[in-house]
Structure 1
């Protein structure tokens, strides 16, 4: 009777799971199909979706993928829970097995792929096992009867096979040794790529997991209840054993408490393993919360973090991939709604930070103020006061503090290493060369920083600036930005007190956004529809907006935000058709800050820029159009700045998010110009010294 009940409950549980999953799959397939139909009728989607790697430009009415933990079918749930609770490494998770690479083994059967279930296996019932056992005996009898023919025909083939194997064994050994290094490199690269991929579980995957847990829990309770009624003696015996074990455990605990405590010392790490396991479990169940440090160290590069405090009390993080003995350094500055993660998110092959480090540079990654964590020396600072800043503070507070910290660190390290030579350096006070690579808002901040430092008669420490689609001029922009312009200008007195910053305030909604990006990647029609709508909003820009949402720094723990004053400042720049500093709204306030009734026009003071500037524009960029980058270039050339201009077939986010070899080659070639110039000056000084002698 007990066996009959167990079998009945097992069949019922699997039936409930199947019906539930098929119903959910049909609903998701319907949503994906409707999105595909809408996507087919939307105009201009090809230009928005082109160039996005791995994106289906023509999504079909297909069913959704199963979650990663269901890759072996429904019966893999217990195995998944066991791995999750014991020792589960998220980096080793397999995405979605197709079924072709899974061997058929005894006790399992491969289901033919369908649009809903691409391929999975399930356990075979006892009846199928008996049928297989019967077929096995029949085949064994037939093979025994054919044994003489097998020996007669198989012996010559066996001898030829052995001769052939021995003849190619030496050749294979040679090639195996030759390929061992390449295979090891490929495995390391595959490991790196796998570690750099998305580790999150989407909302749909969490829904599958929740349904699985609920069904398992309900049927487990039903099974235990029925067992108590069918086997009361076993239940009573189990209850007595449980009570006796609990009482003995209590006595042991009391004896342990009464025993003297002896302090012990171990050679283990300061962070215990349970804490790490708990944090890993939290990461697996929520979002990919890796930091820039995690990405850099996982790829085998050194890392250092330096806390920098600005003059107005904001606490910034200056991250570094250190080459302490290098006399050439590079500073990378991100743009709006971004952080230093953008410079390392593409891994070793496609990230500017790693490329610069591999070329011998000491790499510094700057972070503007504006994280949800709101770090400030005043712990009681309100949210409204924290977000009370504009682009002015980025260029006149953040960058001076960060770059001066770079100067302090590099100078002290080079002096301590005794590598400063006045014969080689034209400026003994700065025994290194510092270049800046910046994107979008970071470009506007760098230009503002250089000009304001020159106005204050202070050195800016930079030898060259490479600006990738820099902000600063925006009067030629899509219609959506015009709407934002007038909204920020007309409704500023109302919106500023209500919305001091644009960010997602709660961890729950940040988690939903992070997980939603995973779902949009799993369902190409829905993701393509969202990508197309995002492209319409920004005037047809074909950047991979859905992929950017999945970057690790857009997680539930922290996320970049934008102050309302920054948006208002951009609206002022667009409305004035000039690269101006923030307008405080009155002649008195502007006079108090700038000394003039109107805010400072930076474009009119490009003559103060005394270093080479390389401007890079994207032909497909609809956030900052190439005409606006050419406006920078025209003003710089008119003011005698040594500037260059280059165009690529990129969208706005392709400069940092996408892997573009030609861009990295160009950026590295511009950086090397500084090093070649320094070497030329060094050789010239040596020639002069030899001539004097």
Structure 2
């Protein structure tokens, strides 16, 4: 095996816990396992009982019913929808994760903290989406993930195909319009693409709630913005991060993502500090006992093309379709520049939640989004100065600081 530099970049999720190891010789997962087993007994945080469970298992372990539904998009991808079902009279809501994440992110915080559980306790029929290419949606009617054509998508296709398939399935199954769509980070990006490109589907959504909307991103403070200097060098990006799948979660990477903070006597506080460096420092809101669970589920899969599309947004300062370059843009768009998504025509009522210490989604960019949307229900700044990008889904006080207001908005609508 050639020398490997493994970086756990879980961005926009959107977790980026970057733990880098320079391995100068062939090392197998068994080597790491033996290293770990030879160490002293790890601390109790490593024995979080949810660490080896999937989304359905975590939901059931918390005492809730759980379902998994397989749906097909118009372009042939097979997606998994997870559900905490209500009765036939309960209103459906859809929670959509961010980049490199999955449905698990809404339940990782546990029974009294996870937004999926909180909504179920409030009497909603809770659906959890999984975007194409992630852990639960790695299938297609004719393409294999080993085929480069499988990964030929960005957040544009998620908005044009994935969300319409999810929303159509939910509304047809429940015979109710979707009461609320709740997106975190890229979960909001895909929604706005859908609302622009598929307005007939957006009409089935009564309300949309943004948690850290990643629509305009050129003011991000995170150091990852410096990677955008290489965004047009696809060969370089493909060489280091995967030509098709971004940071493929092979056996070595999976083991390191799960135990990396424990190996080589690296304290979990160091891992968290690197995470904070990417997303914003907030030790007060981070529950360290969740770290092994988080790293067991994230990164959950993404296409390199999606990463590049976001990088283009950082550079351009615009919210627009994928930039293929001068010549290919002419062929695809009949213009040298890709077209912008026209947010002014979106009619879905929208509530926006943002935080000052979010290093991935800057308040300047959030306010730009606010000015362009015609139907704003609420524009809410989290009243805690250290609140960061990840705290919207895993923060210790997310219920008090975010979810209570979110529930109030939902009840009024």
Shorter-normalised TM-score: what interval?
0.7 to 0.9
**2:412 maps to 1:667:** no
Q: Structure 1, residues 349-377: CA drift from partner, whole Å, max 9, x if none? A: 11111111111111110011123573222
Q: Structure 1, residues 194-217: CA drift from partner, whole Å, max 9, x if none? A: xxxxxxx9987522489xxxxxxx
User: Which residue of the other structure, out of 156, 174, 183, is the alignment partner of 1:392?
Assistant: 156
Question: How far apart are 1:482 and its partner, in Å?
Answer: 3.1
- Name the CA shift for 1:363/1:477 in 2 (closer, same or farther; >3 Å): same
Q: Structure 1, residues 647-689: CA drift from partner, whole Å, max 9, x if none? A: 1121110000123222121111111122xxxxxxxxxxxxxxx
User: Which residue of the other structure, out of 222, 245, 251, is the alignment partner of 1:507?
Assistant: 251
Q: Contact 2:152–2:303 (CA<8 Å) still a contact in 1? A: yes
For residues 201-216 of structure 1, the aligned pairs below 5 Å read 206-208=37-39
| Partner residue in 2 for 1:529 | 270
| Partner residue in 2 for 1:471 | 214
Q: Contact 2:217–2:365 (CA<8 Å) still a contact in 1? A: yes
User: Which residue of the other structure, out of 418, 423, 436, is the alignment partner of 2:181?
Assistant: 436
Q: Structure 1, residues 79-98: CA drift from partner, whole Å, max 9, x if none? A: xxxxxxxxxxxxxxxxxxxx
Question: How far apart are 1:450 and its partner, in Å?
Answer: 1.1
| Partner residue in 2 for 1:654 | 391
TM-score, normalisation: structure 1: 0.49
| Partner residue in 1 for 2:134 | 371
- Name the CA shift for 1:306/1:479 in 2 (closer, same or farther; >3 Å): closer
Q: Counterparts of 2:330 and 2:71 in 1: how far apart (Å)?
A: 28
In structure 2, stretches of 5+ residues that fail to align are 1-31, 42-46
| Partner residue in 1 for 2:301 | 561
Q: Counterparts of 1:317 and 1:348 in 2: how far apart (Å)?
A: 22
SS at match of 2:181: strand
| Partner residue in 1 for 2:376 | 642
SS at match of 1:482: helix
Q: Counterparts of 2:355 and 2:339 in 1: how far apart (Å)?
A: 28
Q: Counterparts of 2:304 and 2:268 in 1: how far apart (Å)?
A: 29
User: Which residue of the other structure, out of 328, 338, 342, is the alignment partner of 2:91?
Assistant: 328
Q: Structure 1, residues 116-144: CA drift from partner, whole Å, max 9, x if none? A: xxxxxxxxxxxxxxxxxxxxxxxxxxxxx
Q: Counterparts of 1:547 and 1:590 in 2: how far apart (Å)?
A: 51
- Name the CA shift for 1:493/1:206 in 2 (closer, same or farther; >3 Å): closer
Indicate the structure whose relative CO is greater, using CA pairs within 8 Å and at least 6 residues apart: 2
**2:230 maps to 1:487:** yes
| Partner residue in 2 for 1:401 | 165
In structure 1, stretches of 5+ residues that fail to align are 1-200, 211-283, 412-430, 675-693
Question: How far apart are 1:591 and its partner, in Å?
Answer: 5.2
| Partner residue in 2 for 1:293 | 56
Q: Contact 1:388–1:565 (CA<8 Å) still a contact in 2? A: yes
| Partner residue in 2 for 1:580 | 320
| Partner residue in 2 for 1:174 | none
Question: How far apart are 1:600 and its partner, in Å?
Answer: 2.5
**Which structure: larger Rg?**
1
Q: Contact 1:390–1:569 (CA<8 Å) still a contact in 2? A: yes
Q: Counterparts of 1:393 and 1:463 in 2: how far apart (Å)?
A: 22
- Name the CA shift for 1:398/1:290 in 2 (closer, same or farther; >3 Å): same
Question: How far apart are 1:305 and its partner, in Å?
Answer: 0.8
SS at match of 2:209: strand
| Partner residue in 2 for 1:314 | 77
Q: Counterparts of 2:238 and 2:248 in 1: how far apart (Å)?
A: 17
Q: How many residues align?
A: 368
Q: Contact 1:480–1:538 (CA<8 Å) still a contact in 2? A: no
